[in-house]
Amino acid sequence: MAEALALCASIIAVIQAADRIEKICRFFIETVGNYPSDLRLILVESSSLKTAFQNLEFIEKHDLGASDFLKKLRAPGGPVAGCLQSISKLEKLVSPRMLPDASRTAKRRKTESVFAALA
């Protein structure tokens, strides 16, 4: 039972991180004219990952038989743990603190520093 809860918590953490990354990418794409194409790729991949994990969360909640598929996902160092680790690293690169703020430096300079960090 504890393994199932740990899997569910990891799935939710991936969904939340992917959602935050998606929102930040959308903000930069909407507000900056010359955004790097990598930002668009990050947006698409994080959106896809979020959707896949939302479906996985649904399956995990409704699979009372604890299928072999879910057992493999629960394994330490398995795919869910790897995704959580990767998405957490990416989230640190595009954290909300990177969003432009009127009280900080000029919007353009701040945006350029964000793009440099992403590179």
Domain with 111 in it: 2-118
Burial string for 62-85 (b: 16+ CB within 10 Å, else e) reads eeeeeeeebeebbeeeeebbebbe
The number of domains in the chain is 1
Distance CA 20, CA 91 (A): 8
Q: Is residue 104 over pLDDT 50?
A: no
What is the pLDDT at residue 112? 63
pLDDT at position 59: 83
Residue 113: the pLDDT is: 66
* Angle (deg, nearest 10), helices 107-118 and 37-62: 70
